[in-house]
């Protein structure tokens, strides 16, 4: 999968918004959760395709999944 500049930007903004008050370990955990959703091994993932799609999914944290 090719990671675009938009993917990087959205990922950075998501990490800032979701984990800025966390320790480094907490920030890394949030980043790995997003990465695992991007690379979940499914052809058509419920989470979406790519970092931007996963980060912008309305329910990424609404269900307490992170």
User: What is the pLDDT at residue 65?
Assistant: 55
Instruction: Tell me the pLDDT band of 63, cut-offs 50, 70 and 90.
Output: low
Is residue 4 predicted with pLDDT exceeding 60? Answer: yes
Euclidean distance between CA atoms 18 and 12, whole angstroms: 10
Note whether 37 and 47 are within 8 A (CB).
yes
pTM: 0.77
Euclidean distance between CA atoms 37 and 39, whole angstroms: 5
The pLDDT tens digits for 19-62 are: 999 999 999 999 999 999 898 877 777 777 889 999 988 865 55
Query: Hunting for tokens 């999944």 — which residue is that?
Result: 65
Euclidean distance between CA atoms 20 and 1, whole angstroms: 27
């Amino acid at each position: 999968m090719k990671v675009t500049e938009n993917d990087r930007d959205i990922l950075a903004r998501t990490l800032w918004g979701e984990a800025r008050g966390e320790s480094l370990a907490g920030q890394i955990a949030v980043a790995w959760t997003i990465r695992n959703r991007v690379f979940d091994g499914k052809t058509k993932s419920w989470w979406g395709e790519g970092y931007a799609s996963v980060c912008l999914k309305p329910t990424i944290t609404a269900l307490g999944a992170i």
